[in-house]
Amino acid sequence: MSILKQSVEIERFLKNPDPAVVVVLIYGPDSGLVTERAKSLVCSTAGSLDDPFSIIRLGESDLSGDPGRLLDEANALTFGQTRRTIWIGDAGQNATKALELIDKNTIDALIVITADNLKPASKLRKFAESKKFAVAIPCYLDGLASLNTVLDGELKKSNLTITPDARRFFIDLLGADRQLSRREIEKLCLFAAGKKEITADDVRLISGDVAAPTLDSLCDAVGEGNVDKADRIYNRSTTAGTSPGAVIAQLIRHFIMLDWIVSHSARGGSSVPGLVKQFRPQIFYQRHRSVEQQINLWSHEDLKSALQLLQQAESQCRNSKLPTEAVGERALFSLSMSAKRRQRHGYNQR
């Protein structure tokens, strides 16, 4: 049907998708933006992200050897008035085969497909770009305009404004990955809660958090599989007043960073050391060697699982009935032990 490239038309479509569209392919190098847009579309269609009767999550492996499963799921009945939504993550060749069956049948479901960066010759892209019932939405790394748009949206939600010099200073600190940038923006807005305007001093305070070097060391210890060091820094940090939730949030940012480097390295064109230097916000040069070592211990799938574990821990930390120190300690131990096992077995994803 079409390729949506302009932010305005993309946002309009995500909020109010055309009922005639059956397949939406969301892909690109910015994995955070891919996920964000997919979630927005699924919510618009199904009303939420967790309705088991309206939303079906599938992966490439689910369609391996059984491409007809997608058609079966699309034709299944739903309860209520919501449109059945099928979300296929990390799509590839198996999804393409399954879509060929969809092309020959009439369905009333919406199929949302997310994928990494796809070349123009990709069969998945060709399918989405050529069919009348499909839409392709590329997600490229954020530039200045996109970062300012995201910042303005979060400021509006928090009833905050920002001075011009603070805006310039803060935007320079952000990277190109939407998910990581949004977390940094949310952190700034939370820090400034109760104020009317964010100043450059506020940005300096949040970016120069005295706990950051300590937490960076903790994140590197977890990623390297240094269990004792991670536990020691965690206990010292929480005793000094750093909340377990802040530790988990820092670990999430760290593992998003690792995933960005692993994903871009897998596509070729740039070396791991080059990607480490290129990453924004900049990684302190004394950490480069550690980060490069961590990249050799974690695959894309491993990092996805790690982020799911951390996001669950972050959610548990918000529950006042649970001992947050224990939640954080359990997450740290699980991840650092996982890295230690890979190190012990000489694991190298490359």
> What architecture (CATH level 2) is domain 2-138?
3-Layer(aba) Sandwich (3.40)
Residue 94 CB-density burial (10 A; 0-12 exposed, 13-18 middle, 19+ buried): buried
Residue type at position 259: D
Cα-based angle 242, 320, 43 (whole degrees, multiple of 5) = 100
Three-class HEC string of the chain: CEECCCHHHHHHHHHCCCCCCCEEEEECCCHHHHHHHHHHHHHHHHCCCCCCCCEEEEEHHHHCCCCHHHHHHHHCCCCCCCCCEEEEECCCHHHHHHHHHHCCCCCCCEEEEEECCCCCCCHHHHHHHHCCCEEEEECCCCCHHHHHHHHHHHHHHCCCEECHHHHHHHHHHCCCCHHHHHHHHHHHHHHCCCCCEECHHHHHHHHCCCCHHHHHHHHHHHHHCCHHHHHHHHHHHHHCCCCHHHHHHHHHHHHHHHHHHHHHHHCCCCCHHHHHHHCCCCCCHHHHHHHHHHHCCCCHHHHHHHHHHHHHHHHHHCCCCCCHHHHHHHHHHHHHHHHHHHHHCCCCCC
Q: Residue-wise pLDDT tens for the chain (350 aa)?
A: 589 988 889 999 999 999 899 999 999 888 888 989 999 999 998 888 878 778 899 988 888 888 889 988 888 876 666 788 999 988 888 888 888 888 777 788 899 999 988 888 899 999 999 998 999 999 887 677 788 888 999 999 999 999 998 898 788 677 666 777 888 898 899 889 889 999 988 887 776 544 455 788 899 999 999 998 898 888 877 876 778 888 898 899 999 999 999 988 888 767 899 899 888 777 877 789 999 999 999 999 999 999 999 988 988 887 756 678 888 899 999 999 999 988 877 665 54
Sheet holding 55-59, edge to edge: 2-3, 134-138, 23-27, 110-115, 85-89, 55-59
Listed residue (145, 333, 303, 141) closest to 221, CA to CA: 333
Task: Say if pTM beats, i.e. exceeds, 0.85.
Answer: no
For residue 30, how many C-alpha atoms fall within 13 Å in the half-sphere facing its CB? 24
Sign of CA dihedral 173, 178, 180, 185: positive
The whole-angstrom separation of Cα 322 and Cα 341 is 29
Q: What is the pLDDT of residue 81?
A: 62
Q: What is the pLDDT of residue 267?
A: 80
For the 212-344 domain, the top CATH level (class) is mainly alpha
Range list for CATH 3.40.50.300 in the chain:
2-138
The whole-angstrom separation of Cα 47 and Cα 21 is 17
Q: What is the pLDDT of residue 337?
A: 93
Range list for CATH 1.20.272.10 in the chain:
212-344
β-strand partners of 175: none
Beta strands 55-59; 85-89: pairing state:
parallel
Q: What is the pLDDT of residue 332?
A: 93
The whole-angstrom separation of Cα 325 and Cα 236 is 12
Q: What is the pLDDT of residue 334?
A: 93
Q: What is the pLDDT of residue 210?
A: 40
The whole-angstrom separation of Cα 176 and Cα 6 is 18
The whole-angstrom separation of Cα 113 and Cα 321 is 37
For the 144-207 domain, the top CATH level (class) is mainly alpha
The CA radius of gyration of the chain, in Å to the nearest whole number, is: 21
